[in-house]
Amino acid sequence: MEVLQAGLEDLQARDLIRRRRTADTPCAPRIRLDGRDVLAFASNDYLGLASHPALIDALAEGARRYGVGSGGSHLLGGHSRAHALLEDVLAEYCGGFARQARALTFSTGYMANLAVLTALAGRGATIYSDALNHASLIDGARLSRAEVRVYPHGDVAALGARLAADDAGDSAAARGGSGVGSGNGCRDSSSSSSGSGQGRGSGNGNAKVGGVKIIVTDAVFSMDGDTAPLAELLALAERHQAWLVVDDAHGFGVNGANGAGTIAASGLRSPLLVYMGTLGKAAGTAGAFVVAEDTVIEWLIQRARSYIFTTAAAPALAHATIKSVELMRGDEGVARRARLQGHIDTIRSQLSGVPGAWPRTEPASSTSLPGALSKTTPVSSTSLPPLPPSFSAIQPILVGENHAALALAEHLLAHGYWVPAVRPPTVPVGTARLRLSLSASHERAEIERLCELLLQA
């Protein structure tokens, strides 16, 4: 107990203590938080569907039809007709990249990422992970017992060089040579602590994964809001016969002409793609899913421990999510995405003077995805250093020191605006920030007032 107390005191001294705030109202821009009314820029409800009347009605209808709990795991009685229908809908919605797409639903995105990496990799496999990947991808890589190589954030050239070196080492080893870089965990000096190499989990018990290569990346990075160079990553995956696992938690429902996600927006097609999306953000419900080739999904059903050994999510949620997909891919989804894009444009145009550490950038060509980490072109500005290169609903306001980020968040809260401060270990040391999250449900005037408060701080 004394050790734990000392640890808590250390966190407090470094301004790293987190505390939960309690909302008494549904997820929406205007909420009652800890007993006071605030305007929230905190949730991932990008399309404003979390409290949509049609989803509330669908959830109630699902509960009447299927009950509340699923009662068991998917393999032991908990897989309802609602789950099966949702998987069919998601495969058709997001699976255009595959020859024979199939979907698998999970209770959380964390569990989905653990499932994919621990089932596809194992001892003898190599996982190449972006330095700023989500914690669930980091943990999945560790638990897989594969060799983990962390490449600098968005650095396709560095990743390509690492893959080429490993291929050369494999060829040398096959000829009886010494090999290259096969056992050091390959942590680049610029990488975060996410690349810790071998995990201590149970692995997947599969002896046939030796030699497997997996490139894994967020599509839209959760704390920076920028977009991975998926086309370049897929080219590397195909050149080196590696899987490309894409976590599109923050792109599903938002990117693409009909909201089918960042892979769809990129126009990519390959049997080497494995796509994960979450349902608790733009979709407004809860849970997650994986879409891939039929054989990959069947392998996950048979081998993914975080799928096999847990109770299935409530069937009513699956029923409500079917309605959510209908909204996202229909006219209402189109209108909400257009409104969200307008908010992104507003905040980026008005916050060009907010202090930050990155040069402002914009896509180098009209074919670039918003926020892509491919080649970017500096934009001149006569104002203070501008926003980081995020063209998504996630707009980070980089502050630097923990206490300064907390002070700025409190300043905004005093004026009725809740924008959470994010500190290490969620982000690298020295990059504490406000994570400003936009929703289609926000009003332009609310965003403009927030910009005024930030510029006056």
pLDDT above 50 for 371: no
Q: Could you tell me if 84 and 204 lie in one domain? A: yes
Q: How far is C-alpha 217 from the chain's CA centre? A: 9
Averaged pLDDT of the chain: 87
What 3-state DSSP class applies to 151? strand
Q: Could you tell me if 166 and 281 lie in one domain? A: yes
Q: Work out whether strand 417-418 and strand 36-40 pair parallel, antiparallel, or are unpaired.
A: parallel
Q: Could you tell me if 335 and 301 lie in one domain? A: no
278 contact partners, CB below 8 Å, separation of at least 6: 108, 109, 112, 249, 252, 287, 288
Q: Could you tell me if 362 and 284 lie in one domain? A: no
The whole-angstrom separation of Cα 169 and Cα 163 is 10
Largest Cα–Cα separation, the chain: 69
Q: Could you tell me if 221 and 348 lie in one domain? A: no
Does residue 6 sit within a domain?
A: no
Q: How far is C-alpha 70 from the chain's CA centre? A: 27
Does residue 7 sit within a domain?
A: no
Q: How far is C-alpha 275 from the chain's CA centre? A: 11
Q: Could you tell me if 361 and 372 lie in one domain? A: yes
Q: Percent of the chain beyond pLDDT 90?
A: 78
Band of residue 457 on the pLDDT scale cut at 50, 70, 90 = confident
pLDDT above 60 for 375: no
Tell me the mean pLDDT in the region 275-288: 98
Does residue 404 sit within a domain?
A: yes
Does residue 445 sit within a domain?
A: yes
Choose one of 279, 307, 329: the last residue of a domain: 329
Band of residue 386 on the pLDDT scale cut at 50, 70, 90 = low
Q: Could you tell me if 320 and 338 lie in one domain? A: no
Residue 415, number of CB atoms within 10 A of its CB: 14
Does residue 141 sit within a domain?
A: yes
pLDDT above 90 for 192: no
Q: Could you tell me if 120 and 152 lie in one domain? A: yes
The predicted-structure confidence for 212-249, as pLDDT tens digits, reads as follows 999 999 999 999 999 999 999 999 999 999 999 999 99
What residue numbers bound the domain in which 261 lies? 59-329
Does residue 181 sit within a domain?
A: yes
Q: Could you tell me if 343 and 267 lie in one domain? A: no
Domain tally for the chain? Answer: 2
CATH classification of the domain holding 426:
3.90.1150.10
What 3-state DSSP class applies to 411? helix
Tell me the mean pLDDT in the region 95-122: 98
CA dihedral 38, 41, 46, 50 (to 10 degrees): -30
Please say whether the beta carbons of 399 and 355 come within 8 A. yes
Taking CA atoms, 376 is separated from 353, 359, 366, 389, 392, in Å, by 20, 10, 11, 9, 16
Q: pLDDT value at position 144?
A: 96
Closest among 320, 245, 244 to 280, alpha carbons compared: 320
pLDDT above 70 for 376: no
Label residue 391 left, alpha or beta by phi (over 0 means left) and psi (-120 to 50 means alpha).
alpha
Choose one of 329, 344, 373: the last residue of a domain: 329
Q: pLDDT value at position 368?
A: 34
Choose one of 270, 303, 329: the last residue of a domain: 329
Does residue 3 sit within a domain?
A: no
Q: pLDDT value at position 210?
A: 63
Q: Which two tokens stand for residue 448?
A: 């403009």
Q: Which residue has the higher pLDDT, 65 or 198?
A: 65
CATH classification of the domain holding 245:
3.40.640.10
pTM score, two decimals? Answer: 0.86
Band of residue 211 on the pLDDT scale cut at 50, 70, 90 = confident
